[in-house]
Structures are given as structure tokens and as C-alpha cells.
Amino acid sequence: MLPFLDLKSITLQHREELLAAFEEVLDSGWYILGKKVAAFEAAFAEYVGTPYCVGVGNGLEAIRLILEAYGFPPGSEVIVPANTYIATVLAISQCGLKPVLVEPDISTYNIDPQLIERHITPRTKAILVVHLYGKCCEMQPIRALADAYGLKVIEDCAQAQGAVYHGKKTGNLSDAGAFSFYPAKNLGALGDAGAITCHDETLYQRLRALRNYGSHEKYKNLYKGYNSRLDELQAAFLLVKLKYLDEENEARRRIAQYYLSHIKAPNLVLPTASKDPLSDVWHVFVVRTANRELFQQQLKAQGIQTVIHYPIPMHHQPAYQEWATKSFPITEKIHREVISLPISPVMTEADAALVVRGIEN
């Protein structure tokens, strides 16, 4: 059986170092906002290339805290891709703001920069982009639009840790970057974890307070904040795993390249590789086919596990009844046809060859 993602093997590559990290925290007697969180924040800021990083509880809260920290008036609009994981949109709703969905480009699956401008209104405050499936968005035209209209640009980097656009990493391509370190992400913790990267010191100070009850100073509360701290243990594990992120992304690129050059199925649409190979970190390898169920069954019969990212578009989710009558044809087509092949840093070329043969059979 070839699993979609062998999380256990990925993690156990670093077993000794992770155990040592656990022991260090255990023996330190300090379990919340200690040395490991500070060290991870410094290491991750340096990795991303921003002056600041704030560790938070998870990816959803990373986005929510950024929006909260900007203090947009209630009902302000945030432009967001219609094709994303639900967390991106939930974060906007939870802040009392209005998500404005924009269709993706069918060749990148990311927000179509050409379609953004027509959705800008006097209430628009920010463009929240998502580097979906591990591919960097086309940031230059988005930044230009945001500057022309005085909007913030925020990145959801949950699926693209370490991806590079024009020489800069995700999280350093906008006003603020939100990261999830959910275990299955390219940089994954051993539980829930997240972070925010930014350039602005005032924003940084607000975020630090907001994640910790709105407090800079113990028992003095400047804002109505949250409890969304990066856990000390998770920070210790992330410090170990961060060292291997570039190497592991490179291993994913090798598998993706193998698929791209070996899969020859006329009824399968392969992903488009970016011009700069560093712009793709292949969080998932998504193909499209008109007959997804059959394709999935065929691979399963040969012991190959696949996953669908994602089966139901946001505007058809029961949670968003208000969008039930809306139509986003490109997003709907994507949700109808996509299916993700196994890809991971511990997969071998022989594993990838098995998938290729499974598709041909």
C-alpha cells in the first residue's frame, strides 16, 4: 500500500533530535512562551527574510489575528480566492468582515490577478492571497493593484512554506504572512501550531499582545485579546524540522518532476510547473480528470491512496448558506475534477514509478 502521505516516516527521520528537543523542554520546567518559542520566532523570521515573526496557535488564528490587528471597521471587505481551504474564509468571517470571492486561474489554481480589480469597492481593505497547493501566487500585479487602491496584502502561506517568488520567500511577499504548521504541511509540528511574519513593528507589537490576552505586561490588558500562543514544545519540534525544510521541499520537487515527465495519460490534466522551480514546493500534486471516481478506484485497486483537495467549494458549504445561489464556474470545475497523487519527502523514485504504472493500467 502506498499511502497518500506517510507522516510517521516523515517524522521518524528526525526521531532522535525530536526526542532530545522534548527532553530539553521537559527539563526546563518552562512550558509556555519560553526560550524555544523565542528561538523559533527568530529562526523563522530569518528563514523567511522578515524582521519579525510571532508564533501563534494555528493557521486559522494566524490569519484571524492579522485581520484583527489591522482593526478594519466591521463589514469591511476582504478579497480572497474562491478556490481555497475553508480556514482562509472562516478567518475573515470570524472578524466580522466580508469575504469577497474571486475566481482562480485554471492553469495555476491560484487567485486570478486579472479579476481582482472589478471586485474592489470603497469598503475593500485587503487582498488575502493563498499560495494554494504549494505554488506561489503571481504577486507583482497584486501588489501593484493594492498600492493603487491603498489596500493591505496578506498571504496565507499554509501550503507553501519555503516557496520562493522573485528571490523572496512566501511570508515576505506582502504586508503579513500567515503560516500553519499543522502536521501534514511541508513544515509540520507534532500538533497544532502557526506563525505570522511581518515587516511593521507596530503590527508586530499588536500581534504579540493579541495572541496573549491583549497583554504586553502581565495582568495589564491593552486589547481584548485571545489565547493563541505557539506552544513551547511545538516550537522546540519546529526548530528541529525547520533545518530540513529546504531539503524536504527539494525531495518533493524531484517526485513532482518525475510525475511531470513520466505521466502520459491523455485524459489527465497535469499541474503547470512555475517558470522558477523554487516557486513550487508541491504541498500536493493535483491532477484533473473528468472521471475522478473511476480514477480513484483504479488507483486504490492497485494499492495507491489519493485524496481530493477539495470536494466541496466554499460557496456550496452548508456553513455559507448566503452564497448558495452564487456561481463560480472555474472553482466548481476544479472541485469537480481535482485529485491529488501521493507526494512527500520520503517517497522514492520507485514509489513514484508505481503511481505512474498505476495510472497507465
88 lies in the site for ligand PLP, by CB under 6 A: yes
What 52-55 contacts at long range (C-beta under 8 Å, 24+ apart), as own/partner pairs, is 52/197, 52/198, 52/199, 52/200, 52/201, 52/203, 52/204, 53/195, 53/196, 53/197, 54/195, 54/196, 54/198, 54/204, 54/207, 54/208, 54/211, 55/193, 55/194, 55/195, 55/211, 55/229, 55/230, 55/235
Q: Which of these segments, 14-22, 58-66, 93-101, 250-258, binds ligand PLP (CB under 6 A)?
A: 58-66
The residues in 176-205 that bind ligand PLP, with binding defined as CB under 6 A, are 180, 182, 192, 194
58 lies in the site for ligand PLP, by CB under 6 A: yes
- Residue 126's contacts (CB-CB under 8 Å, 6 or more residues apart) are 67, 70, 72, 76, 78, 79, 151, 152, 153, 154
Among 40, 52, 70, 85, binds ligand PLP (CB under 6 A): 85
Rounded Cα gap, residues 133 and 343, in angstroms: 12
95 lies in the site for ligand PLP, by CB under 6 A: no
Among 126, 130, 189, 196, binds ligand PLP (CB under 6 A): 130
Q: How many residues bind ligand PLP (CB under 6 A)?
A: 15
User: Closer to ligand PLP at the Cβ: 110 or 172?
Assistant: 110
The least distance separating ligand PLP from the CB of residue 199, rounded to whole angstroms, comes to 21
Angle CA 253–258–259, to nearest 5 = 100
User: Closer to ligand PLP at the Cβ: 161 or 359?
Assistant: 161
The least distance separating ligand PLP from the CB of residue 359, rounded to whole angstroms, comes to 25
User: Closer to ligand PLP at the Cβ: 309 or 354?
Assistant: 309
The least distance separating ligand PLP from the CB of residue 298, rounded to whole angstroms, comes to 27
Cell 518533493, residue? 252
87 lies in the site for ligand PLP, by CB under 6 A: yes
What is each CA distance from 261 to 257, 299, 348, in whole angstroms? Answer: 6, 19, 16
Among 59, 81, 171, 271, binds ligand PLP (CB under 6 A): 59
As given in the structure block, the three cell numbers for residue 230 are 505557539
**Buried-exposed string 118-153: b where 16+ CB fall within 10 A, e elsewhere:** eebeeebbbbbbbbbbbbbbbbeebbebbeeeebbb
Instruction: List the x/- string, 140-169, binding to ligand PLP by CB under 6 A.
Output: ----------------x-xx----------
231 lies in the site for ligand PLP, by CB under 6 A: no
User: Closer to ligand PLP at the Cβ: 56 or 278?
Assistant: 56
320 lies in the site for ligand PLP, by CB under 6 A: no
Residue sitting closest to ligand PLP (CB): 59
133 lies in the site for ligand PLP, by CB under 6 A: no
The least distance separating ligand PLP from the CB of residue 60, rounded to whole angstroms, comes to 4
Interface with ligand PLP (CB under 6 A)? 58-60, 84-85, 87-88, 130, 156, 158-159, 180, 182, 192, 194
